[in-house]
Structure 1
Amino acid sequence: MRKQFVIEAVMLAVYGEMLVPSQPVEYIIPYTTIRELYELKDTPEPIMPDAKDETHVRTKIKELIELLEEPLNRKKIEKALTVPWTQSPPMPLSDHVTLTMVNSFDNEEYGEAFDPIETELILTAMRAQAPIMTDQLELIEKIIEAEIPVQVFDLDDFEFAVEEEGMV
């Protein structure tokens, strides 16, 4: 059974280890974070502090966009975009990794404490009953302080999260 995690799409470009997990993984990605990939691809502002990392991440962003724009994957995404909270069928990235896009939307349930993408990650995690995987310590702290009933992992604990027993 695949472990599920709710993540932002850009994390797949930035953190290569997410593409080679020790066990099968399904990443559930809010559509707004996929749109964010296009913005990052076209921005002249640096994404990474190191020039070598910057080139690598931009290449990975372009590769991920190309994968999502393949006709079959594009069709899966477009079909899911017709109704709020619909999930696309899984899109395989490798033998151990699949992506599922969810047509999430920010309903401002958590007010000003969370930005729209953070809210979508939280709501997606609640609906999917899957933990959030993030590299944003501030988001983790805000979720804990607000006592939001979702499980959240720091990306540094990725392998632990993948191997943890009892996960969805």
Structure 2
Amino acid sequence: MRRRFVIEAVMVATYGQLLVPSRPVDYIIPYSTIMELYDMKEGPEPVMDDPDDDRHVKQKIGELIEFFAEPLNKKKIERALQVPWRESSPLLLNDNVSFIVIHAIDNAQYGETFDPIETEQILTAMKYQVPLLTDQLELQDRIIEAEVPVQVFDIEDFEYAVEVGTELDWETSRDL
């Protein structure tokens, strides 16, 4: 059984272990986070503090941009962008990893507590009832404080989430 997680595109480029999971995984990625990749790759702001790490991650971001721009993948994404909340057909990276791009729409439901990208991730996780995977501890804290009904995992707990996390009961596990 494939595991599904909502995630920002940059997290996939930043954390290589996400591309070699122990079980098959579908990453549900809001389209707006793919657009952020272009700004991160070309922007003056470093993605990582260490210059060598920053160069490496920006190279991986470039590779991910190229993957999404491949003709078949681009066509799948463009179809999804025609209707709000439509998901693309799976974009296969390898036998264990595929991406599903969502044309998420920020409806300002959580606008005071979360930025538009965070809101899209949260709404996507709620809509598809799948966990949100992030490395942002402050986002995790705000989700808990706002009592948002989504399951959230830290990237450090990725293997745990793949193995057992999505098998937990949706309502009880969001409080863990």
Which band: TM-score by shorter chain?
Answer: over 0.9
**Residue 113 of structure 1 aligns to a residue in which SS?**
coil
Divergent runs of 4+, >2 A: none
In 1, the alpha carbon distance for the partners of 2:113 and 2:126 equals 17
2:92, 2:82 → 1: CA distance?
Answer: 22
Q: Residue 9 of structure 1 corresponds to which residue in structure 2? A: 9
In the alignment, what sits opposite 2:174?
none
Task: Kindly provide the CA deviation profile for residues 44-100 of structure 1, in whole angstroms up to 9, marking residues without a partner as x.
Answer: 221111111111101100000000000000000000000000000000111100000
Match of residue 112 from structure 2 = 112
Task: Give the match's secondary structure for 1:49.
Answer: coil
Task: Give the match for residue 33 of structure 2.
Answer: 33
Taking the aligned partners of 1:132 and 1:160, their CA distance within structure 2 comes to 14
SS across alignment from 1:29 = strand
How far is the alpha carbon of 1:111 from its aligned partner? 2.6
Q: Show the 5 A alignment for 1:71-86.
A: 71-86=71-86
CA distance in structure 2 between the partners assigned to 1:32 and 1:46 by the alignment: 20
CA distance in 1, matches of 2:115, 2:143: 12
Paired residue secondary structure (1:111): coil
Shift of 1:21: 0.5
SS of structure 1 residue aligned to 2:76: helix
Alignment of 1:1-168 (within 5 A): 1-164=1-164, 166=167
Question: Secondary structure at 1:18's aligned position in 2?
Answer: helix
- 1:42 positional shift: 1.1
Which segments of 5 or more consecutive residues in structure 2 lack a partner in the other structure?
Answer: 171-176
Q: Cα RMSD (Å) of the superposition?
A: 1.1
Q: 2 CA distance for matches of 1:7 and 1:144?
A: 17
Q: Which moved more, 1:43-52 or 1:72-81?
A: 43-52
TM-score calculated relative to the size of structure 1: 0.97
Percent of aligned positions that are identical? 61
Extract unaligned runs of 5+ from structure 1: none
- Partner secondary structure for residue 28 of structure 1: strand
Q: 1:39, 1:130 → 2: CA distance?
A: 27
- Give the alignment's TM-score, normalised by structure 2: 0.93
| Aligned amino acid, residue 140 of structure 1 | Q
Aligned amino acid, residue 28 of structure 1? I
Q: Secondary structure at the match of 2:112?
A: helix
Give the stretch that moved more between structures: 39-48 or 73-82: 39-48
Counterpart amino acid of residue 66 in structure 1: E
Report the residue type matching 1:122 in the other structure.
I
Give aligned pairs, total.
168
